[in-house]
Amino acid sequence: MSKKLAIIHTTPVTIDVLKTLAKEIMPNYDLMNFLDDSILPQLKNNGGNLKDVEERWIQYALFAQQLGADGVLSACSSVGGLAAKAQRHVSVPVMRIDDAMAEEAIRMGDRIGVAATLPTTLNPTMELLKNKAEEIGKEISLEALLVEEAYERLMLGDKAGHDAILIERLGNFANTVDVVVLAQASMAQVLFSLSEAERKKFLSSPRLGMQRVHDILEGVS
């Protein structure tokens, strides 16, 4: 019998990206995708208060477990902090897409840039990096880049405009830090527009996150 991975999305943008990676990295798993595209607008309007969406998100995790999921993945960094809270109610692993990325960023440098197109994602990602650094006793400095106009283009269906704005802003930002973390999985695709040399300074969550999910569910140390 195939194992099952449930992925909770807050935007349709992450569905195909993670489906492709799961097929490559975890081909023996069946996927269940849950999408609630009302969460990000709600967080944008309430200042990023996760309390307003916490119960709903945990219910998705519980439902995934009831349907036989062997693990649950949060595809959205804005609600990444809810994974640990859901874990108190769910017996299968509840993981967040950006954990592995944060750990790799801290390994790569002391000056870490965090780029986001949503303020609701920027702050949780910076908090995650701070916590990961504290866990290993490393001092880091964080620089933030918020490109809200790129998100607005994406919501209008203008992916090319989204990518063009990001590429322009990211190039300058990368010169000021050791490594740049892309706070949203939806930003990862822009890296394919950069040269191989430029890409070395950027980290995105989808591949690193999916590999971590595989390792956790397969017991790989």
- 164-196 tens-digit pLDDT: 999 889 988 998 999 999 998 888 888 888 888
26 CB neighbour count, 10 Å cutoff: 19
| Half-sphere exposure at residue 154, Cβ-oriented, CA atoms within 13 angstroms | 22
**Which is higher by pLDDT, 145 or 199?**
145
Does the structure show a pLDDT above 80 at 207?
yes
- pLDDT value of position 221: 65
pLDDT at residue number 183: 92
Residue extent(s) of CATH 3.40.50.1860 domains in the chain: 3-97+207-218, 99-205
Evaluate if pTM is beyond 0.75.
Answer: yes
36-45, 58-67, 118-127 — which one is most confidently predicted on average? 58-67
Alpha carbon separation from 191 to 40, 61, 82, 205 (Å, rounded):
23, 31, 28, 12
| CATH number corresponding to 3-97+207-218 | 3.40.50.1860
User: Percent of the chain at pLDDT above 90?
Assistant: 76
The answer to whether 118 and 148 have CB atoms below 8 angstroms apart is yes
Query: 61 and 89 in contact (C-beta within 8 Å)?
Result: yes
- Top CATH class, 99-205: alpha beta
> For position 21, what pLDDT does the model report?
96
What is residue 20's predicted lDDT score, i.e. its pLDDT?
96
Instruction: Give the pLDDT confidence of 58-117 residue by residue, as tens digits.
Output: 999 999 999 999 999 999 999 999 999 999 999 999 999 999 999 999 999 999 999 999
Residue with the two structure tokens 């769910």: 90
